[in-house]
């Protein structure tokens, strides 16, 4: 009996020593060297270890904190961050130790969507980004950091992603999202605050793929998959959310940037409501019901029969449905033959204008596009159209004002003559072929480049007075 007890005791010691030898303190994917933590806020550090393990966090900016892992080996610690600046460092000690260095306190923006958000500064093959060399040459900026989330589809919510924080430099910048990079440059330059970009995008993806089952419950007929299909997983509900959004929701951020919509042009009818549900859910998961959400309206392109104008119209509606949102219009930067416009710098800057005005309080920066307010004179030969966001007037920047169409009750549209009235910021629209104008449309086609702007250079969005 004594030998048996002795052997069992030795076996216990052996198993304990093996467990101890392989025990490891694991960190969440984004907790790495060069990371940006959201300034002046409570941020979460989290990870995994053996159950019941004490975890101690020592920082270079505050007092030590500690916790104990739960029965599943999970741990989390909330840290209060200081004002913008750095670099700082922290030490995490559990079963093993980690030293995290070169940490900046700044503003973190989560950037998501499909290929136009993903498109790197170096461009795609045979599809350039205008001014890419100049962007790369000016990329040496220690106060801008990027984390590019690895593309991953999953039928179950994951808790880890692949990727690493990289400092903006001539070497690293070519692979950064061109839109997000130009946004970050403008924000960092204007505010002096370090900017961290978490880029999580996938080409040709639908909005449903970035939504979770909770947000999709509001919609009938959208099945929740139990496995990843062999084809079109990036267009399948929840799969990108599970693989590329769920693992990062604990990471404190300032706001969201979104550039998506082309993949939903086939069925745009519910896009505004889907956006509303997704934004609400993301805000809930990040713990901020009013977290800024700024998005890009899809650009002109030969969509070949898809309902692109209706999708743009749905994007217009998001602004009324969801508070603390803003839309960057791209009606003047599209390409008839390429769905990936070259002028990414303009798009990034317009997103920055929205953030600088609405989030950072730079109210002298004009950011909102001219949009339809109302029309007077429908049923006559001459209609006056009034737009919002035109405090300093409208302009064509010396172009001819084009893109207007009118129709009678027969719903047959004819190109119209339009002119800007400086006295009241209205637009007079007329057409000799239509004696009783029942509808006015502007740029309500797949590809009609912008000719109408406010004086800050923000193009008017497409609109129509009918619902035909």
Q: Show contacts of 249-252: CB within 8 Å, 24+ apart.
A: 249/282, 249/285, 249/286, 250/28, 250/44, 250/46, 250/76, 251/28, 251/30, 251/43, 251/44, 251/108, 251/198, 252/37, 252/38, 252/41, 252/42, 252/43, 252/44, 252/108, 252/286
Model-wide pTM > 0.85: yes
C-alpha to C-alpha distances, 356 to 183, 186, 188, nearest whole angstrom? 10, 9, 10
Q: Which two tokens stand for residue 38?
A: 């959201």
pLDDT in tens, 80-117: 999 999 999 999 999 999 999 999 999 999 999 999 99
Per-residue DSSP letter, 468: -
Of the candidates 300, 316, 297, 298, the one whose C-alpha atom is nearest the C-alpha of residue 451 is: 300
User: Tell me: the pLDDT tens digits for 11-32?
Assistant: 444 444 434 445 899 999 999 9
User: If DSSP states are collapsed to H, E and C, what string results for 334-361?
Assistant: CCCCCCCCCCHHHHHHHHHHHHHHHCCC
CA dist 361 → 3, 36, 115, 191, 365 (Å): 77, 22, 30, 11, 9
pLDDT at 282 over 80: yes
Span 343-362, pLDDT tens digits: 999 999 999 999 999 999 99
Report the alpha-carbon distance of residue 464 to residue 452 in Å, rounded. 15
Strand 293-296 and strand 325-328: the pairing is parallel
C-alpha 84/C-alpha 106 separation (Å) is: 5
DSSP-derived letter for residue 190 is H
Adjacency order of strands within the sheet including 404-407: 413-415, 404-407, 439-442, 463-464
Q: State which H helix or E strand residue 68 sits in.
A: strand 65-68
Q: How confident is the model at residue 305 (pLDDT cuts 50, 70, 90)?
A: confident
With vertex at residue 285, the alpha carbon angle to CA 279 and CA 291, rounded to the nearest 5 degrees, is: 50
pLDDT single digits (tens) 219-272:
999 999 999 999 999 999 999 999 999 999 999 999 999 999 999 999 999 999
* Strand segments (E) across 297-455: 325-328, 371-376, 382-388, 394-395, 404-407, 413-415, 417-421, 426-430, 439-442, 453-454
Query: Using one digit for the tens of pLDDT, what is the confidence trace for 429-440?
Result: 999 999 999 999
Asked if residue 99 lies in contact with residue 87, where contact means CB atoms within 8 angstroms, the answer is: no
Distance CA 318, CA 116 (A): 20
CB 154: neighbour CB atoms within 10 A? 19
Burial 218-238 (b: 16+ CB within 10 A, else e): eeeebeeeeeeeeeebbbbbb
pLDDT of residue 1: 55
Structural domains of the chain, with CATH: 24-104 (2.60.40.10), 115-358 (3.40.50.1110), 371-464 (2.60.40)
Structure tokens at 88: 């700082």
> 7-46: b or e for each residue (b if 16 or more CB lie within 10 Å)?
eeeeeeeeeeeeeeeeeebbbbbbbbebbbbbbebebbbb
- Per-residue pLDDT of 165-180, as tens digits, reads 999 999 999 999 999 9
Please say if the pLDDT value at position 456 is more than 80: yes
Residue pair 443/433 in contact (Cβ under 8 Å)? The answer is no
N- to C-terminal Cα separation, the chain: 90
Question: In 257-307, which residue ranges form alpha helices assigned H by DSSP?
Answer: 271-286
Label the pairing between strands 97-113 and 54-59: unpaired
pLDDT, residue 390, reads 95
What digits encode the pLDDT tens for the residues 387-406? Answer: 999 999 999 999 999 999 99
Answer whether the bond into residue 302 is a cis peptide, omega within 30°. Answer: no
pLDDT at 391: 92
């Amino acid at each position: 009996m004594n030998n048996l007890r002795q052997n069992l005791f030795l076996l216990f010691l052996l198993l304990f020593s093996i467990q101890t030898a392989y025990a490891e303190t694991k960190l969440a994917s984004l907790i790495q060297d060069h990371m940006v933590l959201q300034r002046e806020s409570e941020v979460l550090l989290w990870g995994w270890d053996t159950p019941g393990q004490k975890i101690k966090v020592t920082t270079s900016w505050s007092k030590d904190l500690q916790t104990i892992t739960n029965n599943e080996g999970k741990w989390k610690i909330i840290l209060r961050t200081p004002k913008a600046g750095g670099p700082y460092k922290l030490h995490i000690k559990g079963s093993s130790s980690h030293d995290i260095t070169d940490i900046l306190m700044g503003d973190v923006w989560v950037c998501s969507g499909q290929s136009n958000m993903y498109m790197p500064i170096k461009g795609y093959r045979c599809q350039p980004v205008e001014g890419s060399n100049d962007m790369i040459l000016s990329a040496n900026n220690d106060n801008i950091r990027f984390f590019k989330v690895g593309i991953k589809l999953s039928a179950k919510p994951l808790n880890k992603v692949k990727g690493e924080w990289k400092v903006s430099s001539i070497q690293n910048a070519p692979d950064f999202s061109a839109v997000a990079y130009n946004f970050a440059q403008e924000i960092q330059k204007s505010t002096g605050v370090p900017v961290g970009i978490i880029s999580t995008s996938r080409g040709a993806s639908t909005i449903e793929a970035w939504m979770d089952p909770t947000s999709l419950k509001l919609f009938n007929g959208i099945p929740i998959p139990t496995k990843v299909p062999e084809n079109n997983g990036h267009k399948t509900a929840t799969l990108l959310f599970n693989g590329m959004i769920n693992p990062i929701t604990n990471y404190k951020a300032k706001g969201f940037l979104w550039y998506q919509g082309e993949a939903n042009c086939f069925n745009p009818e519910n896009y505004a409501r889907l956006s509303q549900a997704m934004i609400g859910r993301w805000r809930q998961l990040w713990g901020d019901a009013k977290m800024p959400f700024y998005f890009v309206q899809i650009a002109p392109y030969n969509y070949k029969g898809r309902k692109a104008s209706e999708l743009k119209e749905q994007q217009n509606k998001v602004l009324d449905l969801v508070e603390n949102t803003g839309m960057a219009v791209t009606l003047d930067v599209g390409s008839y033959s390429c769905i990936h416009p070259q002028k990414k710098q303009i798009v990034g800057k317009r997103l920055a204008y929205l953030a600088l005005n609405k989030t950072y309080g730079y109210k002298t920066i004009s950011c909102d596009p001219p949009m339809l307010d109302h029309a007077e004179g429908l049923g006559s030969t001459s209609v006056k159209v009034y737009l919002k966001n035109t405090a300093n007037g409208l302009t064509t920047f010396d172009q001819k004002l084009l893109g207007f169409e009118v129709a009678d009750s027969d719903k047959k549209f004819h190109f119209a003559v339009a002119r800007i009235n400086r006295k009241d910021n209205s637009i007079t629209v007329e057409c000799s072929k239509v004696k009783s104008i029942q509808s006015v449309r502007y740029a309500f086609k797949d590809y009609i480049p912008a000719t109408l702007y406010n004086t800050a250079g923000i193009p008017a969005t497409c609109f129509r007075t009918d619902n035909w």
